[in-house]
Amino acid sequence: MSDAVSDASNSQIRRLADWDASRLRDLADDHGTPLYVLDRERVRQNYARLEAAFPDAEVLYAAKANALGDVLETVLEAGGGIECASAGELRRALAAGATGDQVHYTAVNPPAADLDIAVEAAAEQPRMTITAGAEDTIDRLAERGYDGRLCLRVNPGIGAGHHEKVRTGADAKFGVPAERAVETVLEAAERGFDVVGIHAHVGSGVSSDDLEAHREFVSRMGDLARNVNEALEPAATDSSTAESAVSKGLEFVDVGGGFGVPYRETDAPLDLEAVATATRDALGPLDARLTIEPGRYLVADAGVLLTRVNTVKPAPETTVVGVDAGMTTLLRPAMYGSYHPICNLASDVDDRSTLEQTVTGPICESADVFCTDRRLPESARGDLLAIGNAGAYGYEMASTYNSRPRPASVVFEADGSSRIARRRETLDDVVRLERSGEERQTQSAETAGSPEVRR
């Protein structure tokens, strides 16, 4: 890890070792651990690289990767829009200053309250797009009086991604089967919806090895878009139905996100140019804009998680290093077996010998492990460890399991300034929503006194 400020090059690879160790040590001293740190400039760089590779595409950042207001504002400032997977994300996007034309609401199996909020937001922001992934979601929108901009999420029948749990493209939960897409779009248009796009997402953490699957997927989307446009066309040109809402072709084809990043030190970066070229070629001739929805690519290497060593325990086959972050702070290793780089930030680390260590958290689950038998410089109590590539699906998947408060998040800027972007939860926060002990006692005393209970 460098002790000099990194040159923040615009390279596609930014390893954990490129972070400025002394700056991270200062942040941990100032704000405590566990601590998420986000480098805003790196989000800008990642956005710029993506924009350069896809100059004609609309970029919608998938807020689920990291919905921190600072991240959303950075993307909006850079010219992107926001893809929201819930009413909460929608609220955050609007609070960050997104206007309707910069927002797509794409919830899967949306709860009623979500739809109420999305329809309300769309009434105020008529350029907002709502994406439906089931025919009856369209009914539910119509029941709420919505007939605005609609995009249909399609299940393309092709999945890809770093783990089976994140491959959505062939999972029946996501999207209307491709073979029903044309009729669903037509019906929606005939009901008065302004059908503006079709959408699909194959999965998350797609690598250069998945290029063929990506090409096939985009080619299916291109064919589908042409079929949809053809089906919409007669009504658009037939003067007897000129009043019909079916009046134009698709505005955009949204091929989702999924662009992977290197996690292991030896992983090669995604060949973004190759993906962009394959996307353009596979889509074919189309009078509609390409839309992409990257999440991880924009934020993964912009974030690290800082955690302190609580305990070092020699065990027969490994040394167990207990840290103050756990699966409740960063779930990915426990959930997907994901690899995250780990670096000891102690200033004398170069003088230490290395040995195999298992880094674990404080949660009562055997899955609460960040790495098993990994060769790292010998750890000592009080050491500060950095866990890399924690900017995507890190804090967003954190929980308060075991009644552990969630960590704070700090954002730093290229000029060296930093600020708390989200404060650390306290134990009071963790119990805040529950009846207090006093309320419980009062209520049970009242119940005990009631004649029905005495009988």
Ligand X SMILES: Cc1ncc(COP(=O)(O)O)c(C=O)c1O
Known binding-site residue numbers:
258, 293-296, 332, 336, 365, 393
In terms of DSSP bridges, do strands 194-199 and 252-254 run parallel, antiparallel, or are they unpaired? parallel
Of residues 370 through 409, those in contact with ligand LYS by CB under 6 A are: 393
332 makes contact, choosing from ligand LYS, ligand X, none, with CB < 5 to 8 Å by partner type, with ligand LYS
How far, in whole angstroms, is CA 272 from its chain's centroid?
A: 19
Cβ–Cβ contacts within 10 Å for residue 126, how many?
11
- Dihedrals φ, ψ of 264, to 5°? -75, 150
| Bridge partners, 455 (sequence order) | none
Look up 371 and say whether it is catalytic.
no
Q: Which stretch binds ligand X (CB under 6 A): 89-97, 230-238, 282-290, 293-301?
A: 293-301
Cβ–Cβ contacts within 10 Å for residue 320, how many?
15
Residue 293 interacts with ligand X (CB under 6 A)? yes
When binding is defined by CB under 6 A, the residue of 107, 132, 166, 200 that contacts ligand LYS is 166
**Rounded CA gap, 249 and 230, in Å?**
8
Binding residues for pyridoxal 5'-phosphate: 258, 293-296, 393
Burial class (CB in 10 A: 0-12, 13-18, 19+), 450: exposed
Of residues 149 through 188, those in contact with ligand X by CB under 6 A are: 168
Signed CA dihedral, 446, 447, 451, 454: sign only: negative
Of residues 309 through 348, those in contact with ligand LYS by CB under 6 A are: 332
CB of 3 to ligand X, least distance (A): 32
CB of 1 to ligand X, least distance (A): 26
Q: Which residue is nearest to ligand LYS (CB)?
A: 393
* Between 297 and 412, CB nearer to ligand X: 297
Residue 76 interacts with ligand LYS (CB under 6 A)? no
* Between 54 and 259, CB nearer to ligand X: 259
Q: Is the bond preceding 294 in cis, omega lying within 30 degrees of 0?
A: no
Residue 296 interacts with ligand X (CB under 6 A)? yes
Residue 204 interacts with ligand LYS (CB under 6 A)? yes
CB of 56 to ligand X, least distance (A): 19
Non-local CB neighbours of 431 within 8 Å, separated by 6+ positions:
403
CB of 398 to ligand LYS, least distance (A): 12
**Rounded CA gap, 270 and 285, in Å?**
25
Of 107, 51, 73, the C-alpha closest to 419 is 73
- At 245, is the secondary structure helix, strand, or coil? coil
Of 388, 387, 207, 396, the C-alpha closest to 301 is 388
- Dihedrals φ, ψ of 111, to 5°? -65, 155
CB of 75 to ligand LYS, least distance (A): 17
DSSP letter at 115 equals H
Of 163, 166, 68, the C-alpha closest to 396 is 68
Q: Which residue is associated with the tokens 């505005």?
A: 251
Cβ pair 6, 19 in contact under 8 A: yes
Residues 91-130 as x/- pattern, contact with ligand LYS by CB under 6 A? ----------------------------------------
Per rule CB under 6 A, count of chain residues that contact ligand LYS: 7
Structure tokens at 119: 């329809």
Residues 45-74 as x/- pattern, contact with ligand LYS by CB under 6 A? -------------------x----------
Q: How long, in residues, is the chain? A: 455
CB of 259 to ligand X, least distance (A): 6
Binding residues for substrate: 296, 332, 336, 365, 393
Of residues 391 through 430, those in contact with ligand X by CB under 6 A are: none
When binding is defined by CB under 6 A, the residue of 148, 294, 388, 394 that contacts ligand X is 294
End-to-end Cα spacing for the chain: 71
When binding is defined by CB under 6 A, the residue of 16, 28, 38, 62 that contacts ligand X is 62
* Between 24 and 71, CB nearer to ligand X: 71
Of 176, 154, 152, the C-alpha closest to 232 is 152
Q: One-letter amino acid identity for 173?
A: K
* Between 59 and 376, CB nearer to ligand X: 59
Residue 191 CA neighbour count, 13 Å, CB half: 21
CB of 312 to ligand LYS, least distance (A): 29
115 makes contact, choosing from ligand LYS, ligand X, none, with CB < 5 to 8 Å by partner type, with none
Per rule CB under 6 A, count of chain residues that contact ligand X: 17
Applying CB under 6 A, the residues found at the interface with ligand X are: 62, 65, 83, 106, 168, 201, 204-205, 256-259, 293-297
Interacting residue ranges for ligand LYS, rule: CB under 6 A? 64, 166, 168, 204-205, 332, 393
Catalytic residues: 364
